[in-house]
Structure 1
Amino acid sequence: MSAPAATIGQTEAVVPGTQFDEATLERYLVGVVPGFSGPMAVDQFQGGQSNPTFLLTTPNAKYVLRRKPAGVLLASAHAVDREYRITRALFEAGLPVPEPLVLCEDLDVIGTMFYVMRHVPGRGFWDPRMPQLSPAERAAVYDSANDTLARLHRVDYAALGLADYGRPGNYFVRQISRWTRQYEASRTVDIPEMDWLAEWLPGAIPPSDERTTIIHGDYSFHNLLIHPTEPRVAAVIDWELSTLGDPLGDLTYHMMEWFRPEGVDVRGTLRGADLTALGIPTPEAYARTYCERTGFDVDPTHPFYTAFNLFRVAAILQGIAGRARDGVQTAANAGEIIQRIRPLALAAWHSAREAGAG
């Protein structure tokens, strides 16, 4: 879920440890993807800490391959089959996602399960201030991101055959439990604030209407492909953390752009920014627009959500630390990422204190 700001969408030679037999893959795709023909060149997208992601270039088209990493994995992690299922359903429903083409569960092809989708050209933005854009373009991009999230949360998931895609109710309770377990399973050093947060968070969840919708799970600008020439979302990518749950999970994580403390994430923050000059709405206005589009009445600005989301990101990065410890490392900058865990935990506990933690 993390990559240096300058590398979003950029590719490099396939990283050692993630290689596979490209000739075998090409023969397989010729047989299962209509119109696919070689020769095929393979490059790897930079970043991709969880599921290694590759660009497949042929004379007639480009494709993207997402695969599980090799090695022993945490239970329920790296579920590319779930990614394929959700993107297939949402693509057929008209949501802006890349078209998934084939899921391969045969480990003899490249050694792990994988799926292939059509490549969607687009721009990625790591910095929420988007310095490359004009104020009017920023306003349009933020509005498109808001509208896309609202559309996702209005989808009738049962009608798409996704009633069993997750469990309804108690979303934040389940998430806190999940990420606490991942943190414990991947623990490399003791961080007292993470232990305090794991104890405090379950009893501090603000009351909500417990709606259930499809949840992307990592809805942030680095997972939104913006059209190459127009200020609108062309595709939402990286559905690994998707499930069914409270839409506040997506909205509050997405709105960390406004609330994220300085210095805890390479994505930066809108804290202290002149939003009017930038053409970016205030968090209150952004939430109000979302509520108008969905019909929901929610308040994503409570400091509990900042504490929860920072804790969650720290636990996700701790998973990277655990994989590095175990020799299952999928990115060259894993060491840099691991250094962010403690600052995230400290910032999360600060927000918890603002929310009433002792």
Structure 2
Amino acid sequence: MPFDIAPDDIVATHDEAAANERPPLLVLEPLLAFLDEHGLGDGEPQIAPIGDGHSNATYLFERGGARFVLRRPPRPPIPPSANDMLREARVLSGLHGRARVPQVLAVCEDTDVIGAPFYVMEMVEGWVVTSAMPEPLDTPEQRRATAFELIDALVEIHGVDWRAAGLEGFGKPDGYLERQLRRFLGLWDHNKTREIPAVENVGAWLKDNLPDSPAATIVHGDYRLGNVLLAPQSPARIAAVLDWEMSTIGDPLADLGYFCTLYVERDDPRVGKFELSSVTREEGWPTRAELVARYEERSGRSMTDIRWYQTLALWKSIVFMEGNFKRASAGMSDDPYLAAFGDGVVELADRAEALTRGE
């Protein structure tokens, strides 16, 4: 079979899927029937994975001259309130034509097709940047322009009328920060494998220092350099914003605080494998203060307390990481990257607690 990935691990026929101890992520015959039904190419596909696969699974399909992307959750068990493909497809559909997102081509709610809900979207050409900028954009001027493009694309998202986009009921516009604290305290109780007092202390600090939120907008929930596609050629331009699984309606400053938490400057301390992109240490990238000023200028909103929002972002990451570590420790994931989160959770909890003290 003309697959670029191992059929016994990822792609299987219906009979192979029934015989496998580990369920495959793609089951061939019902999937091809679904693609045929929606006019998505014809014949045998070429399939290649996209991304690192630590969360949702994303695959590039080339089939009968058509190119598109399929996205589905990881193998079960799936963490509560995560990896919701139908929700992600809904926000992409609402944002298409209003913000820089791929077009959704088909959505499948029937878990009998491949074992989980999934959706298919258009393939957008571009670069995902983690450790290096693409050659056409690898100059101080284009790096700076890329950073400001990131802010401008976020301002566009936050400027979308979410009711007009058909997202009424997608999230609750009021009390977003309070719900975030309740939700992640509950997730911590569900995810934790040991007592880490710093996590509890940070949660209490966040609750005691809750800021007032501006008017609610669409919130991406995981907005960072690694979750956008840069257009292939200069000048720097964001071609598409990806990975909407955490999106909702809420406080837009949560996105900005999260972005600033993961954005490293040249002289920031190194954080090892938890530094998702070190490329912004290079010459030309603006400071966080410049990016916040750009957001305030373009959006008309003031970042009232960036330290609070940065602490929230770090604390939420800790809760998620502990959940991934729990899955790996219990043998529910064979991803060695997740198994390495044990010490990292404690390290980041200490960093978050130091941030509450202004250190």
TM-score when scaled to structure 2?
A: 0.86
Is 1:63 paired with 2:68? Answer: yes
- Structure with more relative contact order (C-alpha pairs < 8 Å, separation 6 or more): 1
Q: Which residue is 1:29 aligned to? A: 35
Is 1:248 paired with 2:248? Answer: no
Q: Which residue is 1:148 aligned to? A: 153
Q: Which residue is 2:89 aligned to? A: 84
**Equivalent residue in structure 2 for 1:42, among 23, 39, 47:** 47
Is 1:267 paired with 2:276? Answer: yes
Aligned amino acid, residue 27 of structure 2: D
What is the SS of the residue equivalent to 2:171? coil
Distance 1:250 1:267 in 2: 16
Is 1:111 paired with 2:115? Answer: yes
Q: Which residue is 1:291 aligned to? A: 296
Is 1:239 paired with 2:244? Answer: yes
Distance 2:77 2:206 in 1: 30
Q: How far did residue 209 of structure 1 move?
A: 4.2
Q: Which residue is 2:14 aligned to? A: none
TM-score when scaled to structure 1?
A: 0.86
Map 1:1-358 to 2 at 5 A.
13=6, 15=9, 17=22, 18-32=24-38, 34-91=39-96, 93-127=97-131, 130=133, 133-205=138-210, 207-230=211-234, 231-256=236-261, 257-258=263-264, 261-263=269-271, 265-268=274-277, 273=281, 278-299=283-304, 302-329=306-333, 331-354=335-358
Q: How far did residue 130 of structure 1 move?
A: 4.5
Q: How far did residue 222 of structure 1 move?
A: 0.6
Distance 2:101 2:6 in 1: 26
Contact 1:41 1:56 in 2 (8 A): yes
Measured on the aligned residues, the alpha-carbon RMSD in Å equals 2.4
Aligned amino acid, residue 27 of structure 1: A
Structure 1 residue runs of 5 or longer lacking an equivalent are: 1-10
How high is the sequence identity, in percent, across the aligned residues?
31
Q: How far did residue 24 of structure 1 move?
A: 2.4
Distance 1:226 1:234 in 2: 5
Q: How far did residue 201 of structure 1 move?
A: 1.4
What is the SS of the residue equivalent to 2:180? helix
What is the SS of the residue equivalent to 2:340? helix
Q: Which residue is 2:13 aligned to? A: none
- The size of the alignment, in residue pairs, is 336
Contact 2:264 2:278 in 1 (8 A): yes
Contact 1:227 1:233 in 2 (8 A): yes
1:119-163 Cα distance to aligned partner (Å, 9 max, x none): 112111224x84961111101111111110000001000111112
Aligned amino acid, residue 232 of structure 1: R
Structure 2 residue runs of 5 or longer lacking an equivalent are: 11-21
